[in-house]
Structure formats: C-alpha cells, structure tokens
Chain A
Amino acid sequence: MKPNRFTAGVALPAVVFAVVLVAIPELVSNSFQLRAVMLFLIYALVALGLNLLVGLVSLVSLGQAGLYALGAYTVAILATQTGAGFVLAMMGAIAVTAAAGVALSYPTVRVRGVYLAVVTIAFGLIVQNVAIDWRTLTGGTLGISNVPRIDLGTGPLSTTGLYGLIAAITFVGFVLHHNLMHSRIGRAMRAVAQSETASRALGIDPTRQRVLAFVLSSVFAGIAGGLYAYLNRYVNPDTFSFSDSIRFLLMVILGGSGTTFGPLIGAGILTWIPNLLQAFGKWQLFVYGALLASVIFFLPKGIAGSARDLWLRWRVGRNQSVRQADAWPKPSPGVDALLGVRATVRGPVLQTRDLTIRFGGLSAVSGVTVDIERATVHAIIGPNGAGKTTLLNALSGFYAPTEGRVTLLQDEVGGRSSVQIARGGLTRTFQNTELFPEMTVEENVRVAFHARSRCGFLSTVLRLPAFHAEERLQRERAALLLDYVGLAAYRDETAANLAFGHQRRLEIARALALSPEILLLDEPAAGLTHAEIDELIALIRDLKRLGVTVVLVEHHVDMIMSVSDHVTVLDYGEVIASGAPSAVREDPRVIEAYFGAGTVPTGAHA
C-alpha cells in the first residue's frame, strides 16, 4: 500500500508527537509540571473534538465547557457515589455527553450561525446552573471532592501512570481526529458546510453529518472532562463557565480550524499563556481579550492554517508549469464501465402525473404530466418564469409536490427528500453552478462517492484494509471522471479558482460520480462559448450512448434542436406542447408563447 499524500504529510509529525509524549516524564522536573502537561493534553482533547465541529461542518459551539462539565460531573458522581471504576465511569461520561450531543445538534436542523451559538451558550449556562442547584447530586457550589484515584486492577495509579493514560487517550483521539478529517466522512462534512444544496443533490444528508459532528465533538469533550475529574480529583461549577467555552473555541481558531495540528498548537499556547500572563497582573483578562481580537483580525486561519497557506503558495510558486484542459468528453473503457446504465425497469424512467406546485396562492407548475423515456434526451423549455426550474426542483426532491405524483424508476417518490432521490439514481446540476468552492477538484468528485460507499464508520476512522481499498478505488474512479471531462491537469486545484466553463465541467463530472440513471441539467449552456457548447452537446450525446437519461432545461434553441429526442414546452406552469423537436418547433402555441405572434427566426436564442 503506497501512502497517499495526506498520510505521508502527517506520519512524521505524528511520530514526533508520540515521541515527545513518551519523553515528557523524563523532561519535566517535578509533578507540578507534569500536571500542567496533563492539563494541556485534556484541553487538547476538547479542542480536537471542537475542531471536528468548527473545522468540518462550520458550526460554532460556545457551550463546549458545558459538555466538558457533563463529562467531569458524570465521572465524579459515578466514582464517588456508586464506586464505579475508571472504565465504567468513563463509559457513563461518554453516554451522557453523546446524548447531550444529539440533543444539541437537533437545533442545527433549523438554526445555524449566530442563532446556534446562542443556543450553545444557553446550554452551557444551563449545565452550570444545574451543577449549582442540584446539591444532592453535585454538591452545589462546593462541588464534589475526593474523586478516587484511577485503579486499573494494579492499585491506585501514580502521577506518572495517570500521565501515561491521559497521553495515550489524547494520542488516540488525535489519530482518530486526523483519520476522520481525511476520509469520506470528513469530506462529506466539509461539503455540507460549503454547499448544503449540492450535498443534498449528491445524496449526502446534511442533518446526519451535523449530528455526527456534534456527537463526536461532545464525546471528545466528555472524555476530556472525565479525565479532568480524575486529574484534579475535585470538580466544582467555577471550572465550567462561559469564558472557558470561549477559551476552547479560541484554541481551535488560534491553532487553525480544520487542520490536523491546529487544535494541539492552540491548546498548547492557551495552556501556557496564563503563566505568561501572570506578568500582566490584573490586566490578564484584558490581554486575553486583545489576543482573541488579534487572532480574529490578523490570523483568521490560525497558526497551522496560515502556515499551510504559505507552504502551498511557495509550492505553487515553484511549480509554474502551464496546465491545459483537454478537449472533452474523452470516452474510455473505464468510463463506459463506470457510467454505463443497465436497464433495471421497463417503461419510462421518470414520470409525473398532474404535478402541481403552489407557493401561497400561485401555481408555479400546474397539472404537468410528462413521461421521460430511458436513454433519451428530454428537453424542457419555455419562456422565463414558465416554471421550468420549479419542475426540476420537484423532480429532484427539492420541492414537495402540492398535488400529483412523481414516479422514478416505477417508484413513487413525490414528497421524498432530495437525498433519497439522489440515492435512488437521479441527480442534477444547478443553474448557478454549485461546487464545493474550497475543496480541490478531485475532492469535489470524490465527495459524490459518499452515498455509495460501503466502508463503515469504524473501518474509516481505524483505517482498516477496507478503507484503503475503497480510497484507492475512489481515487481511480475520480481520475477516470476528471479525464472524461478533460480536467485531469487541474486535479489538485481549488475548485473556486477554476475558470467558469471548467467549473461547469467539474459540476457535471461530480454528478456523474453518482453513476446516475437520470441526470438533470439546469441551463448547462448558459454563459458558455460556442466551442464549449459544442463540447457540451458531444457530452450529452455520449451520455445517451451510455444509457443515461438526460433531462435538459435550456434556452439555447440550436442546442435543444440538435440533441433532444423529445421536447416539452411549459408556459405559465402548464404543458403547452410536447413531442419531437421538429413538431414542437412548428406548434403555433409555442410560437405564440415565445413571440406573441410571428415565426421563430432560425438560430434564434430564445
């Protein structure tokens, strides 16, 4: 197994981190310093978890201290009141914080950004006040003291032994965090953060990704809290205030959110800085606020993020070879095997019956009945505002039908989510090209394999052989698809940097990565040059050859006439004509809808 770019990039520093962890007991001179290192490792664990939330799904939690507190209190209560041992108490902390993570992630279905931040602040304050108020359980403001030492069956653990345990757990957390970030799960999470719409069209459920990220970050905080209870052997409500939540978030941002080492760097700096700030005496808090402000203004990507950017720029500066996109489509046996559709059902692949979509009192689509046949190119045209895109949104599950039915591959799908429909074999592109702008070209394509992946969560984070096999397969397939659309040379470019026409190609390649039976293209020719439109026509013909059904919403009449097998014309949300392109072209109602009266000049762009 050849190591890929990411594992190669992380292996050496990870080994260094492990060596430092092993060497530290020899390097520090007393147990006070060793305790400081343990505190750093515990904070690092919280920061690593929070990084999954902030760095991957771009959700900001200002209540992480509440989850940390839940872990600490659960362990303290279980250990002092039920005599639970280390493993049992930690399992309790994991269970409680995972449940809290699910509960906290529920709001993300509906609210995000600053609203979510406020919900998490309120959550942190609720936890803190419960700890103050539920005296019989938590000891109130006095807290819980005399948390027993950890005993793993060989007598109470010494300080060095405790250090070993904490270091091992944090190191495992670090490795899992890295593995998750550079896997299909990490990519799906980043995709959800960058374009929720595109994620859904690719069969990635945004809610699932957010819940997963929230639960993982909660469990990291909970484990860290449990370790803190054993380290300090005393917990009280003062340790878990709003300012602690801010500090955890600052660790992630200062270190560099979304990077492997950022959380470690941030936790390290913010654990040592209180010692440095002693010099500022009573100005400590002020300097702390100033530090937060300067990071946000001058180092928004954090230390590791800025370093990575510098390195990338230096690498690009050295590598000035001219890249060129190839002509496309470039059919190959590999692509044929990947995209070729084997008919599973007879009859039309996509049907609507009396489909009506209403917004308030306005019908955007009314009573539309169409049959779309397998391996044909079916164009939907009509003047602006005729309801074409609304129809497309209903077919792809972004709008639920008000009335009528939608049948995909003889399966009633009206009212199903776009995620389910995408997994059922229908995907789409968007009028305003919805890429994942901050991901590379290759990553954009690989995200689309997520829905069909077989490799489970555990195999992924533990990097079992199944993971490596699937990664290799997906890299090969992504290469095939990029080659098919002629973008192989741009594999590692950030999607946002691509030229407009190339972004279109990438969006199509990404949709094809799902191996769809039906592909909806929403105005794919808009903004393209004549040469690019000719290539697009060639692509559509090639997809038809492979058995893919293409539904095309387009204004470009020449293109429609040359590629379509069937044209459906909408006006004011209703079908006014449907049939072969030549017949539709002569239909008086169509001519009237476009021009009021008169004839269609040949070659006009309607």
Chain B
Amino acid sequence: MTAFVQYTLSGLVIGGLYAIVALGFYIMWSAVRAVNFAHGDTLMLGSVLAIALMWAGVPLLVGIPLAIAASAGFGLLIERIAVRPLNHGPSSVGWMLSTIAIGLMLEAFVTITFGADPRSLPSPLMGAPISIAGAGIFPHELLVPVAAVALLALLDWFYRATMLGRAMRAIAQKPVAAGLMGIDVRRMALISFAAASALGAFAGILAAPIIQVSATMGLLLGLKGFLVAIIAGMSNARGIVITGFAYGVLERFIEGFGNTSLREVLGFGVMILLLLMFPNGLFGQREVNKV
C-alpha cells in the first residue's frame, strides 16, 4: 500500500514535469505546426543558467527571472533561424533536423563551459520530507504537479479570454485566413516559441532541486514530453496534462517493480502502441482527409 502511494505520488511529480514540457510543444505546434525539437534543452538551459547565475553571486530571486528571460530569447532565435526558413508544409522535416542540430550544439557548449557533472539548485522546501499515507515526499516535489495544473488553467484563460490568445487560436485553425484578417502570423510564431521556451526554462528550474541538472538532461525529457503531447492529441491542452500525469505514474510503477531500463522499454512501447491505436491522439479530433 505504501509503495502504491509512493509510486503514485512520485509519478505525479515526474508526470507533472512531462506535462509542462508537453504544453510547450502544444504552444509551438498550435502556432506553426512545427516545434523546437530541442525543447528539452530549454529545460537544461534554464536550470543551468539559474545555477550559473547563483554561482556568480546573483540572488536566486533575480537569477531565476533572468534565466527564464534568456531562454525565451533562445526560443525567439530558434523560431527565426531554425524553424521559419525550413517549415514548408506538413511533411517537411527540415526544421526537425535544424533544431536537433542546434540542440546538439547547445549541449556540447554547456558540457564544455558548465562541466559534465550533474548539479542541482537548493530549495527551502527540500528540507524534510512530509509523510502522506506512509509515503515520503518533499514539499518542493509537490510544487511540480501543482504548477502543471496551474499552468494549464493559465493557458486556458489566455487562449479564451485575451485578444492575443484568440488570435493564436485562429492561426492554429486557419493560418492563411488569420493572416488575411490582419493577424501578424510571424509575430505570433515568435511569441509562441518565446513563451514555450520560457515555460521550458521554468520547468527546468522548478525541477532543478529534484532531478540532476546536466548538459544532457534535455534529450529524454524532451522526447517524452513530445510523445505525451502527440499521444494526447496535439490540440487538447487538458488531455496533454492528463496524459503527462498518467505517463509519469506508469513509469514510476514500472520502475518500482522492475528497473530503469525496463521503464524505458515498456514506457516507450506503450506510447508507440497508443499512437498506433489512436493516431489522432487520445483526446484529439479526427481530421478528415480531403481528396
């Protein structure tokens, strides 16, 4: 019973992280039907910058916003130089390769300058674990799923209630028509990538006291986040968060009863099967093919 609660709780923590990563993919995909494939690296960038600034003596309260802002700038750059010139329709994958390339460069750069050893950020909430039904968890860890749900609510409000959000939804549905209505499609793309990257950096910093921060931390986080987003169906934010939690819990259970390799094997296996059974996603809408 205790193990059951423990796996569920820690599953919700890692699942919350996947959900936030997946929401970043959702934001980018909605705007341009393409994503920063190195989105996982924005988590790495945000947390590495926050740690580096802390080492440089900048207080965390200043350093964290700076790290997030810098990551947003990275997102702008990715959209402008790596995605926009190579995004020529639904089947083009040039942007995928170009963003992977930039991700490789970023990882290599961070390995050299920051070092290959994993680090972490301190948090006042990592002092003593609290006990829930016999399972131990640090208060800071609970912040992750809470943040995922709060971000979902915020996004929901933004897309529904603000002019900018409505414009983005219009672009997601009919980019050409949205452009004709005077919406600046390119500006929206830039904003989306900046917002997604800021969100990624925020997730990285939030997770930095819990998981190991290193140059290569982004690959698996990004891949799993993307899988979560497409399994859920790219167009449904709520579904994405639910799927993220479910995947996190599933992983923790497999890991608990097996090991980390088995976690990847079964986790990815289940994801591929789900994608085959529901090609439009568990929560997505069917798209009719027109001849």
Contacts and interface: CB of A to CB of B under 8 A. Distances in A.
B279 interface: yes
Interface in B230-265: 230, 259, 261-262, 264-265
B291 A197 contact: yes
B260 to A, nearest CB: 8
A243 B85 CA distance: 24
Query: Which of A133, A197, A359 has its CB near the most chain B CB atoms (within 10 A)?
Result: A133
A126 interface: yes
A269 B275 CA distance: 36
Contacts of A243: 104
Contacts of A299: none
Contacts of A58: 91
Contacts of B34: 114
Interface string A50-79: 000000001010000000000000000000
Contacts of B226: 118
A565 B7 CA distance: 74
A129 B261 contact: yes
Given A132-B261, A430-B291, A285 B272 contact: no
Nearest to B104: A289
A501 interface: no
B90 to A, nearest CB: 6
A289 B291 contact: no
A122 B227 contact: yes
A253 B291 contact: no
B60 interface: no
Contacts of A125: 223, 264, 268
Interface string A215-252: 00000000000000000000000000011001001000
A243 to B, nearest CB: 8
A133 B262 contact: yes
Interface stretch (A105-113, A531-539, A584-592): A105-113
A133 B230 contact: no
A293 B100 CA distance: 9
Contacts of A111: 275-276, 279
Given A114-B96, A246-B100, A133 B112 contact: no
A30 to B, nearest CB: 32
Given A122-B271, A126-B269, A292 B261 contact: no
B109 A300 contact: no
Interface in B45-88: 82, 85-86
Nearest to B227: A118
A393 B108 CA distance: 53
A119 B291 contact: no
A289 B108 contact: yes
B223 A118 contact: yes
B152 interface: no
B141 interface: no
Interface in A388-404: 389, 393, 398-399
A462 interface: no
A118 B234 CA distance: 14
A126 B85 CA distance: 33
A449 interface: no
Contacts of A133: 259, 261-262, 265
A359 B272 contact: no
A130 interface: yes
A558 to B, nearest CB: 27
Query: Which of B90, B105, B259 has its CB near the most chain A CB atoms (within 10 A)?
Result: B105
A296 interface: yes
B105 A290 contact: yes
Interface string A95-110: 0000000000011001
Nearest to B92: A113
A286 B105 contact: yes
Interface in B268-291: 268-269, 271-272, 275-276, 279, 288, 291
Contacts of A60: 93, 96
Interface in A286-329: 286, 288-290, 292-293, 296-297, 300
B118 interface: no
B272 A130 contact: no
A296 B227 contact: no
A297 B85 contact: yes
A569 B152 CA distance: 52
A288 B96 contact: no
Contacts of A282: 111-112
Contacts of B100: 246, 292
Given A197-B291, A289-B101, A289-B105, A129 B90 contact: no
Contacts of A514: none
Given A60-B93, A118-B230, A297 B98 contact: yes
A283 interface: yes
Interface in B162-217: none
A288 B104 contact: yes
Given A122-B268, A197-B291, A253 B261 contact: no
A117 interface: yes
Given A123-B272, A133-B259, A253 B97 contact: yes
Interchain residue pairs A-B with the least CB separation, the first 9:
A289-B104, A133-B261, A285-B108, A289-B105, A286-B108, A293-B101, A110-B279, A292-B101, A122-B268
8 contacts: A110-B279, A113-B93, A118-B226, A125-B264, A290-B101, A292-B101, A293-B82, A389-B291
Interface of A: 58, 60, 106-107, 110-115, 117-119, 121-123, 125-126, 129-130, 132-133, 197, 242-243, 246, 249, 253, 282-286, 288-290, 292-293, 296-297, 300, 359, 389, 393, 398-399, 430
Interface of B: 34-35, 37, 82, 85-86, 90-94, 96-98, 100-109, 111-112, 219, 223, 226-227, 230, 259, 261-262, 264-265, 268-269, 271-272, 275-276, 279, 288, 291
Given A123-B272, A133-B262, 20 more contacts: A60-B93, A111-B276, A113-B91, A113-B92, A114-B35, A115-B230, A115-B275, A118-B226, A122-B272, A125-B223, A197-B291, A242-B219, A253-B97, A282-B111, A289-B101, A290-B105, A293-B102, A293-B105, A296-B97, A296-B101
